[in-house]
């Protein structure tokens, strides 16, 4: 077995392990931590697959932005166990796990065919650069998928506006009063 | 020695050099520099007892931290409390991996091809630094949360919000530099500014980038997360001993990283002066410098030292600013980030793009 | 570089997806639910990137970008909703969000 | 605008659009504009001047068009690459003559109405409807396609409905409007059938092309059959709009509307649309002479039938309404006897003198403070001299006293009837002539002579009304000159003019014919004078007594036609409606719907248990569905 395969299997095992822990740990912060680890491992997997740019984006966006947001909200709420709820009962958990396992089996049956068992091809040039490099991806993205790219931008903008609307609260009266009084004092200080 | 072994030795040498410098030299020196400069600015002596000029003060401090009892308050969340300082150091160290510290060189003919003086020869180094740099926030968040202390939580909340916000500003500023250089490879970015440093066309970007890196590293005037007067010391209130030492270390390593980044992105990296690169002065980075007794050093030592000097200047700038500029208020910090730097950054990108497109067309 | 069959990568993708789905159903607080949603999307992403490699075609990588765009929006909006929910209910227990009970 | 066609299209467009514009304006102005008096002034001046503009436009066209012309405004409906319906006007003698009548009489009646409706809260609304009516009537008159005619046809019906039930706050008026509308729908069905049949045969609905195709001949029996259907439909439509047997019942009730409306719509213009249509489509009817026969018979029967009812009516407007029906019967008689020019001539003269009579009656009603019952009138000739004299001219004209216009036109119809040698029709015509002069005499005597039996003091109407009366009286007196028979030294101008469009047997110019026509004229004027005289002696000292013999009860009750219709049609329809309501709507449809509702209610009472409000349970269902799909897809491989 080559080193790449060893790496793949160890990464795969760790990804699955961390995914399981994301699903099974009761506290959100633990789930989030395991998910961050999962994302790092997935980024490693992407490097193995040759998609370097995707791998960096995985770290930059998923681990660096999205998960930070999660951790930030978890910190902000600073929940104790009473506030994030009790655990599901064993029957429900086992039912869900069973269905999950069944789904995995059926999905795997779909792809466990001889023609999908052949090895992945070697990486080659795609014209703009090596496969998976930033040049190659951006050429395709901005040539063939420019509408998708623009729509993604619009979606992000909409999400930004929506989140702003959802999260905005008028500052409570007291805080505003304090703010104005400080500025007043400052003015007074300046005058005298 | 066959070539493989040379390659491995080169690789190990790069790691040793960089991390040795970072942990064994820069951090201790910086602690000393900080205290001495502080004292200088405040018109007092500073540490001057241990060793010559108090240079060994940091060593003594380090020994003290290592030998101190590992205190763990009762109410903390145990795993995360220990995890936080560890994952504080990891990203700081990882970011170092792609920082090139000299021009690609054959080390005086040791190699047939010029080799990069960079641990991980990643061609998307700039993105990598950004990606890894954005991870530092986890340790702070975790540290605050795990301490189970109101001040700590507040501190880490502030830190998270601040770092997320200013990361955007820094990223936007750097994007315009990438546009100017036409690459995300740090070595190529430096090579693109052999004559014209990016600080000249990208001055606006630098103006955005500078406050952003101060905020990124939680340094004054943006050290809100550890504002002593308000939050005791914020997220590491509950930490002591070497766990605190790790936070401390990471801070200086981060400072080094962003300083190096600033030098690489804006100040021509290891090049000599604007419009006057080493090769025009007559320094061949692949050559050798003869020393006494038949010994010789690779000439690459000269640009490397020059690069280190530039980084050192930025580190000094950090210290200098810390002891001269007062702290921002939190809402001022946020409005500076979101209402000034980010719009300015977007405007800068549009402007840069327009200028580049116009330049290409004409 | 790596020489494993595509189906192994798909097994991995399915595994991550199913764990995410299970977590989505097992966890009782809204934050964990969102986290598990991210996990499911990540599982899908693995499949996309793998197919991209299989066909030596950047389309899969580009779909990855679109997916993370959606994931970012989804998590941002979801977290804002959770914050509002918390403001109203003072907890994030999902079983309290049952005003539409039949 | 140098091109004559362009000028024509501009002028005719203005003629049609002025009333439409007015209709849009008056409602708004009458409702919102300043105080009521100002609004009334603006509306009355505006409406009359708009109508006058419209009249002069038509007059200009009348004077400037040689023969006939077509102006196309825009393409309206395209059927296929070859045929389309244009929004176009057909300007030929027939339509221009009627157009002049419509706009001319219309202008006078607008002027009259501005006095008559003074102070009414719905002043602006009234003129809106009236102007809309004029627009529709012009569409009906000038459209060069049956679709356009139908548009106008429906438009006038709608306006008629609006105006009959103008004072809708009284249920009786509203019911009268509904009756008119519904009865007219039956006629409209005939029109629609005719349109469909004609389109089937000719593939076009443009009147000139249609008539050209008919005159080109060489039609197959199948086509002739469909043309016959179309003629039947047209006759049905005409009887509906022109209030002939069997669809006349709406017109007497239509008197519920304001008197100017009765004069304009239900005497002078709209009700003559049927006559106009049959004249316009005469070539079709010439292919089906038996239908013309039927039309003549319907006309004659309606004439005598309505006249016999009119004798026993006490409401002054009802008398005039039945008189209108009767006179329209005369016109149809003429059309049926292939004398469309005579019919059209009578149409014109009738428009003048019947408008005069209605307006005179309106003046009387106005003067007597909305008293319509002739038993409560009498002896007001001194109080209302202008009204008296003008109405006298109208009465003499309709009674056929020479040389007034009614004499000339009616005599022409009698002349044609006489020469048709159909004894039934001759009998009908002469009896009707006698009855007409009798009931008109009765009306005249009961209203203006004898003792005053009313409650309110009478007063003369304002100038805007009496002036109109005078103008109309002059017209009634001299309109006969339009078509004064050649035999008596006249020019027969109308005949010459209309001959281009419609065909009518030419009169003989022999000595014998002259004496025979003179004899006929003598008889008809004698009949008229006899009727008036009889009425004079019978009603000179009227004090409320009536004919007592039981045979007259049948006349008095209008042959029980309303009751028969009620029994035969309305009650049965109600029964069918009731059965449909209870059986189909109540049981089948409601049952089905209620069944659905109750099934879904019961089902949802069970299924709502699934709605636990727990997001994750929903997610589980989704997941299970997804799993089943996966299984299905896998097992189908």
Partner-chain residue, chosen from A31, A48, A73, that has the shortest CB–CB distance to C1: A48
Nearest CA in chain A to B123: A133
Greater confidence (B297 vs D543) lies with B297
Q: What is the rounded CA–CA span in Å between residue A16 and residue A28?
A: 18
What pLDDT is attached to residue C58?
A: 83
For residue C22, the chain D residues in CB contact (below 8 A) are none
- pLDDT tens digit sequence for D124-162: 888 999 999 999 999 999 998 899 999 999 999 999 999
Q: What is the mean pLDDT of chain C?
A: 86
Other C-beta atoms within 10 Å of D513: how many? 14
The answer on pLDDT for B242 being more than 70 is yes
- B297: part of which helix (H) or strand (E)? strand B296-298
B201: nearest Cα among B355, B10, B6: B355
- pLDDT tens digit sequence for D291-329: 888 999 999 999 988 988 888 888 888 889 999 999 999
The answer on pLDDT for D568 being more than 70 is yes
Q: Using the 8-state DSSP alphabet, how is residue B340 labeled?
A: I
Among B24-33, B172-181, D98-107, D251-260, the least confident range = B24-33
D400 — pLDDT class (breaks 50, 70, 90): confident
Rounded to a whole number, what is the distance in Å from the CA of B135 to chain A's nearest CA? 5
A125 — pLDDT class (breaks 50, 70, 90): low
Q: What is the mean pLDDT of residues D324-344?
A: 90
Q: What is the mean pLDDT of residues B292-317?
A: 82
What pLDDT is attached to residue A158?
A: 92
D380: nearest Cα among D393, D394, D365: D365
Rounded to a whole number, what is the distance in Å from the CA of B154 to chain A's nearest CA? 9
CB of A53 within 8 Å of a chain B CB? The answer is: yes
Total count of domains within chain D: 1
For residue A76, the chain C residues in CB contact (below 8 A) are 83
Token digits for D468? Answer: 């109109």
What pLDDT is attached to residue D545?
A: 63
Whether D200 is covered by a domain: the verdict is no
Pairs of residues, one from chain C and one from chain D, whose beta carbons lie less than 8 Å apart: 31
Q: Spell out which chain B residues touch chain A, with contact meaning CB-CB distance below 8 angstroms.
A: 80, 83, 122-124, 127-128, 130-132, 134-135, 137-138, 141-142, 144-145, 153, 156-157, 160-161, 163-164, 167, 184
The answer on pLDDT for B98 being more than 90 is no
Other C-beta atoms within 10 Å of D351: how many? 26
Interchain pair D616, C94: CB under 8 A: yes
What pLDDT is attached to residue A188?
A: 43
Whether D598 is covered by a domain: the verdict is yes
What pLDDT is attached to residue B349?
A: 92
- pLDDT tens digit sequence for D407-435: 888 888 888 888 888 888 888 888 999 99
**Residue at token pair 């102007």:** D131
For residue D626, the chain A residues in CB contact (below 8 A) are 103
What pLDDT is attached to residue A127?
A: 62
Q: Which residues pair with D78 in a beta bridge?
A: D84
Interface of C with A in 37-66 (CB under 8 A): 38-39, 42-43, 45-46, 49-50, 52-54, 56-59, 61-62, 64-66
Among B156-160, B264-268, C10-14, D472-476, the least confident range = B156-160
Q: For chain D, how far is it from start to end, CA to CA, in angstroms? A: 78
D522: nearest Cα among D384, D407, D359: D407
Q: Which residues pair with D315 in a beta bridge?
A: D373
For residue B123, the chain A residues in CB contact (below 8 A) are 52, 133
C44 — pLDDT class (breaks 50, 70, 90): very high
The answer on pLDDT for D616 being more than 60 is yes
- pLDDT tens digit sequence for D161-206: 999 989 888 888 888 898 889 888 888 999 999 999 998 888 888 8
Provide the 3-class DSSP secondary structure of residue D71: strand
Domain with residues C6-90, CATH architecture: Orthogonal Bundle (1.10)
Greater confidence (C100 vs D24) lies with D24
Chains that touch A (3 or more CB pairs under 8 A): B, C, D
What pLDDT is attached to residue A84?
A: 65
A49 — pLDDT class (breaks 50, 70, 90): confident
The answer on pLDDT for B213 being more than 70 is yes
What pLDDT is attached to residue A184?
A: 46
The answer on pLDDT for A14 being more than 90 is yes
Decide: D415 and D396 in contact? Cβ < 8 Å: no
The answer on pLDDT for D604 being more than 50 is yes
What pLDDT is attached to residue A117?
A: 75
What pLDDT is attached to residue D599?
A: 93
Decide: B337 and B169 in contact? Cβ < 8 Å: yes
Token digits for D559? Answer: 């042959």
A173 CB-near residues (< 8 Å, 6+ apart): none
Q: Using the 8-state DSSP alphabet, how is residue D587 labeled?
A: I
**Residue at token pair 């049965």:** D572
Give the CA distances from residue D275 to residues D59, D345, D352, D480, in Å, rounded to whole numbers and listed in that order: 22, 11, 16, 19
C20: nearest Cα among B239, B121, A79, A39: A39
Partner-chain residue, chosen from A64, A69, A74, that has the shortest CB–CB distance to B135: A64
Nearest CA in chain B to A66: B164
What pLDDT is attached to residue A83?
A: 65
- pLDDT tens digit sequence for A137-151: 888 888 888 888 899
Token digits for B123? Answer: 């061609």
Q: What percent of chain D has pLDDT over 70?
A: 97
**Residue at token pair 């990588």:** C61
Nearest CA in chain D to A92: D617
CB of C76 within 8 Å of a chain A CB? The answer is: yes
- pLDDT tens digit sequence for C10-33: 889 999 999 999 888 888 888 888
What pLDDT is attached to residue D518?
A: 83
Whether D567 is covered by a domain: the verdict is yes
Partner-chain residue, chosen from A20, A111, A126, that has the shortest CB–CB distance to C19: A20
Partner-chain residue, chosen from B130, B141, B167, that has the shortest CB–CB distance to A71: B141
D241 CB-near residues (< 8 Å, 6+ apart): D153, D156, D157, D184, D187, D270, D271, D273, D274, D277
What pLDDT is attached to residue B229?
A: 66
* CB burial readout B78-88, b (16+ within 10 A) else e: eebbebbbebb
Partner-chain residue, chosen from A4, A131, A149, that has the shortest CB–CB distance to C56: A131
Q: What is the rounded CA–CA span in Å between residue D359 and residue A129?
A: 97
Provide the 3-class DSSP secondary structure of residue D114: helix
The answer on pLDDT for D551 being more than 80 is no
CB of C24 within 8 Å of a chain D CB? The answer is: yes
Instruction: Give 3-state DSSP helix, strand, coil % of chain D, rounded to 5.
Output: 75, 5, 20
Nearest CA in chain B to A55: B128
Annotated domain spans of chain A = 145-192
Other C-beta atoms within 10 Å of D632: how many? 9
The answer on pLDDT for D586 being more than 90 is no
- pLDDT tens digit sequence for B4-36: 887 788 888 888 887 787 777 777 788 888 888
For residue B80, the chain A residues in CB contact (below 8 A) are 29, 33
For residue B157, the chain A residues in CB contact (below 8 A) are 72, 75-76
Q: What is the mean pLDDT of chain B?
A: 82
Greater confidence (B56 vs B175) lies with B175
CB of A160 within 8 Å of a chain B CB? The answer is: no
Other C-beta atoms within 10 Å of A72: how many? 20
Please name the residue ranges forming H helices in D479-614: 493-498, 511-539, 551-556, 561-565, 571-579, 590-607
Phi, psi of B234 (to 5 degrees): 70, -135
Greater confidence (D508 vs B75) lies with B75
What pLDDT is attached to residue D596?
A: 93
Whether D593 is covered by a domain: the verdict is yes
Annotated domain spans of chain C = 6-90
CB of C101 within 8 Å of a chain D CB? The answer is: yes
Whether D623 is covered by a domain: the verdict is yes
A29 CB-near residues (< 8 Å, 6+ apart): A71, A74, B80, B145
Interchain pair A118, C5: CB under 8 A: yes
A85 — pLDDT class (breaks 50, 70, 90): low
For residue A133, the chain C residues in CB contact (below 8 A) are none
The answer on pLDDT for B181 being more than 70 is yes
Decide: D259 and D130 in contact? Cβ < 8 Å: no
Whether D303 is covered by a domain: the verdict is no
Q: What is the DSSP secondary-structure string of chain A?
A: --HHHHHHHHHHHHHHHHHHHHHH-SSHHHHHHHHHHHHHHHHHHHHHHT-HHHHHHIIIIIIIIIHHHHHHHHHHHT--TTTT-PPPPHHHHHHHHHHHHHHHHHHHHHH-SGGGSSBPPPP-B-SSSBTTSHHHHHHHHHHTSHHHHHHHHHHHHHHHHHHHHHH--PPPHHHHHHHHHHHHHHHHHHH-
Nearest CA in chain C to D619: C25
For residue C98, the chain D residues in CB contact (below 8 A) are 612-614
CB of D606 within 8 Å of a chain C CB? The answer is: no
ipTM of the complex: 0.78
Nearest CA in chain D to A97: D620
Sort C32 into a burial class: Cβ within 10 Å, 0-12 / 13-18 / 19+. buried
Partner-chain residue, chosen from A36, A68, A75, that has the shortest CB–CB distance to B144: A75
Instruction: Give 3-state DSSP helix, strand, coil % of chain C, rounded to 5.
Output: 80, 5, 20
- pLDDT tens digit sequence for A100-116: 898 888 888 888 777 77
What pLDDT is attached to residue C16?
A: 92
Look at the alpha carbons of A91, A95, A96, A97 in this order and tell me if their dihedral is positive or negative. positive
The answer on pLDDT for A183 being more than 70 is no
D553 — pLDDT class (breaks 50, 70, 90): confident
The answer on pLDDT for A189 being more than 50 is no
Q: What is the mean pLDDT of chain D?
A: 86
For residue D620, the chain C residues in CB contact (below 8 A) are 25
CB of C83 within 8 Å of a chain A CB? The answer is: yes
Instruction: Give 3-state DSSP helix, strand, coil % of chain B, rounded to 5.
Output: 65, 5, 30
The answer on pLDDT for D58 being more than 50 is yes
Q: What is the mean pLDDT of residues A124-140?
A: 75
Range of the domain at D625: 562-635
Q: What is the mean pLDDT of residues D43-54?
A: 90
Interchain pair D627, A99: CB under 8 A: yes
Q: What is the rounded CA–CA span in Å between residue C26 and residue D374?
A: 95
């Amino acid at each position: 077995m080559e080193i790449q395969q060893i790496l793949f299997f160890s990464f795969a095992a760790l990804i699955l392990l961390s995914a399981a822990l994301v699903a099974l740990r009761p506290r959100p912060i633990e789930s989030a931590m395991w998910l961050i680890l999962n994302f790092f491992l997935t980024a490693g997997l992407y490097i193995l697959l040759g998609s370097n740019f995707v791998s960096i984006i995985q770290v930059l966006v998923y681990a660096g932005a999205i998960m930070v947001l999660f951790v930030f909200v978890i910190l902000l709420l600073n929940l104790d166990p009473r506030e994030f709820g009790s655990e599901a009962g064993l029957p429900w958990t086992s039912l869900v796990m069973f269905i999950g396992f069944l789904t995995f089996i059926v999905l795997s049956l779909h792809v466990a065919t001889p023609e999908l068992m052949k090895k992945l091809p070697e990486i080659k040039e795609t014209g703009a650069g090596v496969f998976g490099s930033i040049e190659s991806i951006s050429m395709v993205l901005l040539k063939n998928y420019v509408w998708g790219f623009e729509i993604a931008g619009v979606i992000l903008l909409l999400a930004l506006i929506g989140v702003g609307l959802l999260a905005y609260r008028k500052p409570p009266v007291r805080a505003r009063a304090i703010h104005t009084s400080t500025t007043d004092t400052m003015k007074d200080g300046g005058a005298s | 020695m066959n070539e493989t072994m040379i390659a491995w030795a080169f690789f190990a040498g790069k790691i040793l050099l960089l991390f040795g410098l970072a942990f064994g030299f820069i951090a201790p020196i910086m602690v000393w520099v900080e205290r001495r400069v502080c004292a200088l600015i405040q018109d007092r002596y500073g540490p001057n007892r241990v060793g010559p000029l108090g240079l060994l003060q940091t060593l003594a401090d380090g020994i003290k931290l290592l030998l101190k009892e590992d205190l763990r308050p009762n109410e903390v969340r145990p795993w995360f409390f220990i995890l936080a300082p560890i994952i504080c150091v990891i990203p700081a160290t990882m970011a170092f991996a792609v920082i090139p510290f000299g021009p690609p060189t054959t080390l005086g003919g040791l190699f047939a091809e010029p080799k990069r003086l960079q641990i991980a020869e990643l061609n998307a180094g700039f993105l990598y630094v950004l990606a890894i740099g954005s991870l530092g926030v986890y340790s702070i968040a975790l540290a605050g949360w795990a301490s189970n202390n109101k001040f700590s939580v507040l501190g880490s909340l502030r830190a998270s919000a601040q770092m997320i916000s200013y990361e955007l500003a820094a990223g936007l500023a750097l994007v315009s530099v990438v546009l100017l250089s036409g690459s995300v490879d740090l070595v190529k970015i430096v090579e693109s500014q052999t004559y014209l440093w990016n600080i000249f066309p990208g001055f606006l970007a630098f103006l955005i980038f500078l406050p952003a890196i101060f905020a990124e590293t939680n340094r004054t005037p943006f050290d809100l997360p550890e504002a002593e007067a308000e939050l005791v010391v914020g997220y590491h209130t509950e930490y002591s001993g070497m766990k605190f030492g790790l936070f401390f270390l990471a801070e200086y390593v981060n400072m080094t990283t962003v300083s190096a980044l600033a030098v690489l992105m804006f100040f021509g990296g290891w090049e000599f002066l604007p419009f006057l690169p080493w090769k025009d002065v007559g320094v061949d980075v692949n050559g050798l410098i003869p020393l006494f007794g038949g010994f010789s050093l690779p000439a690459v030592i000269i640009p490397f030292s020059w690069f280190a000097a530039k980084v050192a200047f930025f580190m000094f700038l950090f210290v200098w600013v810390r002891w001269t500029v007062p702290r921002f208020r939190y809402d001022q910090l946020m409005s500076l980030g979101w209402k000034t730097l980010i719009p300015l950054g977007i405007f800068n990108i549009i402007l840069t793009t327009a200028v580049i497109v116009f330049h290409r067309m004409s | 570089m790596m020489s494993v069959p595509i189906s192994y990568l798909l097994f991995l993708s399915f595994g991550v997806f199913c764990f995410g789905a299970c977590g989505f159903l097992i966890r009782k607080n809204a934050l964990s639910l969102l986290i598990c949603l991210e996990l499911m999307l990540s599982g899908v992403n693995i499949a996309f990137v793998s197919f991209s490699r299989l066909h030596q075609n950047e389309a899969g990588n580009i779909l990855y970008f679109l997916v993370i765009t959606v994931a970012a929006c989804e998590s941002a909006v979801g977290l804002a909703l959770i914050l509002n929910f918390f403001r109203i209910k003072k907890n994030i227990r999902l079983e309290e969000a049952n005003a539409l009970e039949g | 605008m140098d091109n004559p066609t362009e000028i024509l299209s501009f002028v005719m467009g203005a003629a049609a659009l002025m009333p439409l514009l007015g209709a849009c304006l008056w409602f708004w102005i009458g409702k919102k504009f300043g105080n009521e008096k100002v609004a009334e002034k603006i509306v009355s001046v505006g409406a009359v001047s708009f109508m006058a503009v419209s009249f002069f436009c038509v007059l200009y066209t009348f004077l400037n068009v040689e023969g006939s012309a077509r102006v196309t405004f825009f393409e309206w409906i395209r059927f296929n690459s070859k045929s389309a319906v244009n929004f176009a006007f057909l300007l030929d003698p027939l339509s221009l003559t009627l157009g002049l009548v419509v706009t001319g009489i219309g202008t006078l009646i607008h002027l009259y109405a501005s006095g008559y409706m003074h102070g009414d809260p719905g002043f602006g609304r009234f003129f809106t409807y009236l102007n809309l009516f004029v627009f529709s009537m012009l569409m009906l008159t000038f459209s060069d396609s049956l679709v356009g005619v139908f548009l106008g046809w429906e438009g006038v019906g709608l306006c008629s409905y609006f105006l009959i039930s103008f004072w809708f706050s009284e249920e009786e008026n509203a019911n009268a409007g509904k009756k008119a509308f519904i009865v007219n729908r039956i006629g409209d069905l005939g029109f629609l059938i005719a349109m469909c049949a004609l389109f089937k045969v000719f593939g076009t609905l443009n009147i000139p092309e249609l008539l050209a195709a008919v005159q080109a001949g060489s039609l197959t029996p199948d086509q002739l059959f469909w043309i016959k259907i179309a003629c039947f439909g047209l006759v049905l439509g005409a009887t509906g709009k022109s209030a002939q047997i069997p669809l006349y019942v709406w017109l007497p009730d239509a008197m519920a509307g304001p008197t100017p409306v009765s004069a304009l719509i239900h005497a002078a213009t709209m009700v003559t649309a049927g006559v106009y249509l049959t004249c316009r489509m005469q070539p079709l009817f010439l292919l089906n002479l038996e239908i013309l026969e039927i039309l003549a018979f319907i006309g004659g029967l309606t004439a005598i039938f309505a006249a016999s009812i009119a004798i026993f009516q006490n409401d002054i407007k009802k008398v005039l309404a039945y008189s209108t029906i009767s006179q329209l019967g005369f016109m149809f008689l003429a059309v049926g006897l292939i004398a469309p020019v005579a019919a059209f001539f009578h149409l014109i003269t009738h428009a003048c003198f019947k408008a005069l009579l209605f307006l005179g009656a309106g003046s009387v009603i106005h003067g007597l403070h909305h008293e319509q019952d002739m038993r409560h009138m009498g002896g007001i000739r001194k109080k209302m001299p202008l009204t008296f004299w003008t109405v006298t001219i109208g009465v003499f004209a309709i009674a056929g006293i020479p040389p007034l216009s009614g004499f000339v036109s009616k005599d022409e119809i009698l002349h044609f009837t006489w020469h048709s040698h159909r004894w039934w029709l001759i009998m009908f015509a002469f009896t009707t002539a006698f009855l007409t002069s009798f009931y008109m005499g009765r009306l005249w005597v009961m209203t203006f002579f004898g003792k005053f039996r009313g409650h309110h003091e009478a007063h003369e109407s304002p100038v805007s009304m009496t002036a109109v009366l005078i103008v109309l009286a002059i017209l009634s007196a001299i309109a006969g000159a339009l078509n004064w028979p050649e035999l008596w030294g006249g020019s027969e101008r109308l005949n010459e003019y209309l001959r281009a469009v419609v065909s009518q047997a030419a009169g003989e110019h022999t000595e014998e014919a002259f004496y025979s026509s003179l004899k006929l004229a003598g008889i008809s004027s004698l009949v008229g004078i006899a009727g008036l005289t009889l009425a004079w002696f019978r009603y000179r000292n009227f004090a409320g007594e009536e004919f007592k013999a039981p045979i007259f009860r049948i006349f008095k009750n209008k042959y029980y036609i309303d009751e028969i219709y009620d029994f035969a049609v309305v009650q049965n329809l109600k029964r069918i409606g009731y059965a449909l309501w209870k059986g189909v709507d109540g049981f089948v449809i409601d049952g089905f719907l209620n069944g659905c509702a109750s099934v879904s209610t019961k089902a949802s009472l069970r299924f709502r248990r699934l709605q636990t409000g727990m997001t994750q349970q929903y997610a589980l269902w989704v997941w299970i569905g997804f799993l089943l799909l996966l299984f299905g897809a896998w097992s189908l491989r």
